[in-house]
C-alpha cells in the first residue's frame, strides 16, 4: 500500500471518462463497470451493492459540482478509483442542490478503515481547490483530465 494515500495513486487512465450527458444511475453503473476491470475487485455484484447501499443512505454529492460515491466492502482487496466528468452536469441530490460535473468513485477493502477515511478526506480537501476543479472541468479530453488528476497536488 502506498504511504501517501493520494487518490491519484489509484487512478488508471482507462478509468477516467468524460460523458456529454447521463443520469445518476447511468454514471454510477458506468463507473462500477470500469472498477470491475481492476484485479482488486473480487466480487462485482457485492461491490455494486455496497456502492448503491451507501448511496441510499445519503447522497454522496458533496456540493460545488462534485460527488464521491464510495464504499468499503470485502468484495475488494484494496483501493480502486474511477472518475467521470459529465459535461452537461447530472442531478445527484447534492447537498447544495447543484448539478454534479465531477464524480470520483472509490472502493476499499472492509479492512481499510483508517486509510479509507484518510483517502476520502484528502480527496475532499483537494476538491476545495477551486483552481484545480476549474482545470478538471476545462480539461481537453480524458487524457488531459487524467494528467491533471495525477500531476497536481
Residues labelled as active-site residues: 70
Question: What CA–CA distances, in Å, run from 39 to 34, 78, 94?
Answer: 11, 9, 31
Which residues, at least 6 apart from 73, have a Cβ–Cβ distance to it below 8 Å?
Answer: 46, 47, 50, 107, 108, 109, 110
CA distances from 100 to 42, 71, 109, 137 (A): 29, 19, 26, 11
- Cell numbers at residue 61, please? 454529492
Is the separation of the CB atoms in 61 and 127 below 8 Å? Answer: no
Amino acid at each position: 500500500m502506498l504511504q501517501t494515500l493520494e487518490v491519484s495513486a489509484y487512478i488508471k487512465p482507462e478509468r477516467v471518462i468524460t460523458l456529454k450527458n447521463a443520469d445518476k444511475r447511468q454514471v454510477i453503473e458506468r463507473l462500477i463497470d470500469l472498477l470491475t476491470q481492476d484485479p482488486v475487485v473480487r466480487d462485482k455484484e457485492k461491490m455494486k451493492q455496497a456502492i448503491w447501499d451507501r448511496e441510499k443512505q445519503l447522497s454522496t454529492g458533496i456540493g460545488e459540482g462534485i460527488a464521491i460515491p464510495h464504499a468499503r466492502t470485502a468484495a475488494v482487496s484494496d483501493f480502486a478509483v474511477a472518475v467521470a466528468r459529465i459535461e452537461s452536469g447530472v442531478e445527484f441530490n447534492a447537498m447544495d442542490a447543484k448539478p454534479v460535473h465531477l464524480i470520483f468513485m472509490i472502493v476499499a477493502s472492509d479492512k481499510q478503515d483508517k486509510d479509507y477515511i484518510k483517502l476520502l478526506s484528502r480527496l475532499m480537501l483537494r476538491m476545495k481547490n477551486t483552481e484545480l476543479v476549474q482545470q478538471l472541468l476545462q480539461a481537453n479530453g480524458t487524457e488531459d483530465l487524467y494528467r491533471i488528476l495525477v500531476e497536481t497536488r
